[in-house]
Amino acid sequence: METKLRQAEALLREHGQEHLLEVLGRASGEQQESLTEQILAIDYRALKEVGTQTEEKRDAELAPIPSLDAEQWSERERESFAEAGWAELKAGRVGVIVVAGGQGSRLGHDGPKGTMDIGLPSGKLLFQIQAERLLNVSARAGRFVPWYIMTSPDNHDVTAAFFREHGYFGYPEEEIYFFQQHTMPAIDHAGRLLLSGPAEINFTASGNGECFSSLARTGALADMKRRGLAWLFYYNVDNALVKMADPAFIGAAVHFGYPVATKVVEKKDAGEKVGMACLKDGRPSIVEYTEFPPSLLEERDAAGRLLFNLGNMSIHLFSLPFIERHADTDVPYHAASKKIVHVDREGRTVTPEKPNAYKLERFIFDFFPLAEGMTVLKVNREEEFAPVKNKEGADSPESARRLLLALHRRWLLAAGVSEEELAGQEPEVSPLVSCDGEGLDAKTVRELLDHG
């Protein structure tokens, strides 16, 4: 232990973190041992790279990226892609991963985002909706689709306990793999490490871009290889309309053969605050709206449509060889200035009133330029994209609820139910009955309406 302690002290001096020497020296017993291990585990090279980042960046060449439009497919094309996707699912070559490390505190919810009730008549929670959709897909595929749930240190135990308490919503426990994403220490604006306790460094989840490395580090990637998976369907937990393991999307990716595929929606307007799929210096990319030149945001084609109009909805598909190849690839950390509660050297809690530190994150789309090409599929926003990010207004639980129930209403109308029969009702279709409007025959519809 003494050797490790001296190594930790040397690292703090070498990397300008001398303010923690007093804290380390004052700690004793298990606290000192724990703090020493934390200090030794930090990636100081990455911290240094973040600290030397400048705001001046070379102007990249941005261009529209070729894309498919699912709504323009012929019936034959749609069936062909779906058939190819179902073949992958039936062969057990597809897994699903949900990025579920976030808390619902911004939404007024005490717990992980996936445990939220968005106000549906059934009271179903986000995780429950997704589990039942995956049960539906699995039933039609004739085998269970393995479900990988990436948590964070903040919500891992609570998430796993939540699933146990709800009987995994009917999904087999052995088909669910919980794992934690990587963390990085928060640093103040001067680059100094912060504390979260008297002898505890303030570590925060370091973004969805740690997905590949976390899969490898936790054994989840080895589990995927053992199962013979070829593709991993990736989505965010807060999308109430996600089509789990969408066969047509999978089939399109298989057909075009690129190691990465992504779903996009048409932007509402030039000012919508969403990342955009495009070519950046000739490589497939997602570029945040903050990095787009204002003039390009407004640029239009001959038909008057936005030239850069493909909004990122964080639904992707990755080939297993691509994930394995880049599990240890270093993509840059992004420093986001945040208000981070911390503990000072005297053990007093500091609650800042303005941003005081950087949270370091990697983004999953930073891996896109490493692919030789990318399948981009534009889909209908009202059918597939209902993010829950704000407490109220746009992208809130209420807006997600409205979008989901409106979609179910359209399904029932297409199945032959009249407007008069639906008057004054908020019909909700269980994912166990239908995931995409399929299977809604007269008998099923009548049972739904009779039982509310």
Least confident piece of the model among 120-124, 154-158, 195-199 = 195-199
pTM score: 0.94
Query: For residue 272, which amino acid is it?
Result: E
Pick from 130-139, 184-193, 240-249: least confident: 184-193
Residue 341 scores a pLDDT above 60? yes
Residues 316-342 as b or e (16 or more Cβ within 10 Å = b): bbbbbebbbebeeeebebbbeeeebeb
Residues 179-206: tens digit of each pLDDT? 999 999 999 999 999 999 988 999 988 9
Instruction: Answer positive or negative: Cα dihedral of 12, 101, 403, 241.
Output: positive
Ranges of beta strands (E only) in 202-309 are 203-205, 231-236, 260-266, 276-280, 283-287
Question: What is the tens place of the pLDDT at every residue in 357-405?
Answer: 999 999 999 999 999 999 999 999 999 999 999 999 999 999 999 999 9
Bridge partner residues of 146 (DSSP): none
Residue 129 and residue 218: Cα distance in Å, rounded? 26
- Sequence-distant (6+) residues with CB within 8 A of 327 are 212, 213, 215, 216, 221
Which domains, ranges and CATH numbers included, belong to the chain? 60-395 (3.90.550.10)
Q: pLDDT above 70 covers what percent of the chain? A: 98
